[in-house]
Amino acid sequence: NAGVTQTPKFQVLKTGQSMTLQCAQDMNHNSMYWYRQDPGMGLRLIYYSASEGTTDKGEVPNGYNVSRLNKREFSLRLESAAPSQTSVYFCASSERASGWVNEQFFGPGTRLTVL
Amino acid sequence: DQQVKQNSPSLSVQEGRISILNCDYTNSMFDYFLWYKKYPAEGPTFLISISSIKDKNEDGRFTVFLNKSAKHLSLHIVPSQPGDSAVYFCAASAIAGNMLTFGGGTRLMVKP
């Protein structure tokens, strides 16, 4: 089992460029999440998908869009990158999103720099 | 306004001694708490959790204590080992939603 995989590992963009971060999990989890990690801020939730076919905004959704392509894959898109989006992005998955708290499993992260 | 705070950005401990990492929260709706450990260039990994019906949960060298009245939890690592050197994140959730709110992290350095 690979767990949660993310591509790419590193990316440098210029302001205004677009890109999509890919995430896939092989644990048959229902729920998937995108976080960003900034120094001193911990991990902040950008978007999540409680189940296939649903997506919802998290704490910091502005400037991002997501697609739950199928049960395994959840992508994060930056339509017009800004320097404020320079961060490390983590994808995570868990068995289910509501009615029970269960641990989230994280991918290795994508380090994004926007110049 | 951060609902989960880890007020110590870093902590240095000698190998074999106890490490105590602290976490405070403000949202009284939180009823489940988790600790994650993160090594450089890796994603966070789950370490230990506690629900609000308990005040202590133990797993090997790791123990989490919860003080609901003070809205405070702590992670104890005994004895500390150099391999424990990492960033530790506290996270909180309301069971109904399972969305995790993370603290800013504490970098633990265990010196040989």
Band of pLDDT at residue A100, cut at 50, 70 and 90: low
Type and span of the H or E element at B21: strand B19-25
H or E element in which residue B66 lies: strand B62-67
The CA-atom distances, in angstroms, between B14 and each of A88, A99, A107, B17, B19 are: 30, 41, 31, 6, 9
Cβ proximity of A90 and A48 under 8 Å: no
Return the C-alpha torsion angle A10, B108, B20, B91, nearest 10.
-10
| B14-23, B48-57, B97-106: the lowest-pLDDT one | B97-106
Q: How many angstroms away from the CA of A107 is the closest CA of chain B?
A: 5
Residues of B in contact with A98 (CB under 8 A): 96-98
Please write the tens of the pLDDT for every residue from A19-34. 999 999 999 999 999 9
Q: How many CB pairs under 8 A join A and B?
A: 64
> How far is the CA of B99 from the CAs of A54, A95, A106, in angstroms?
15, 13, 14
- Check whether B14 has a pLDDT greater than 90: yes
Residue A40: predicted pLDDT: 77
How many separate helices (H) and strands (E) can be counted in chain A? Answer: 0, 11
Question: Is A99's CB within 8 Å of B95's CB?
Answer: yes
- Check A101 against B93: CB less than 8 A apart: yes
DSSP, collapsed to helix, strand or coil, labels residue A84 as helix
Q: Are B63 and B56 in contact (CB under 8 A)?
A: yes
Torsions phi, psi for B5 (to 5 deg): -125, 135
CB of B89 within 8 Å of any CB in chain A? Answer: yes
Within 8 A of B42 by CB-CB distance, chain A residues are: 108-109
Residue A97's contacts (CB-CB under 8 Å, 6 or more residues apart) are A30, A31, A48, A50, A51, B97, B98, B99
Q: Which of B32, B43, B46 shows the shortest C-beta gap to A107?
A: B43
State mean pLDDT over B47-70: 95
Q: What is the mean pLDDT of chain A?
A: 92
Give the A-side interface with B, CB within 8 Å: 4, 31, 35, 40-45, 48, 58, 90, 92, 94, 96-109
Token pair listed for A46? 């950008």
- Which residues on A lie below 8 Å from B41 (Cβ)? 108-109
Instruction: Please confirm whether the linkage preceding B40 is cis (ω < 30° from 0).
Output: no
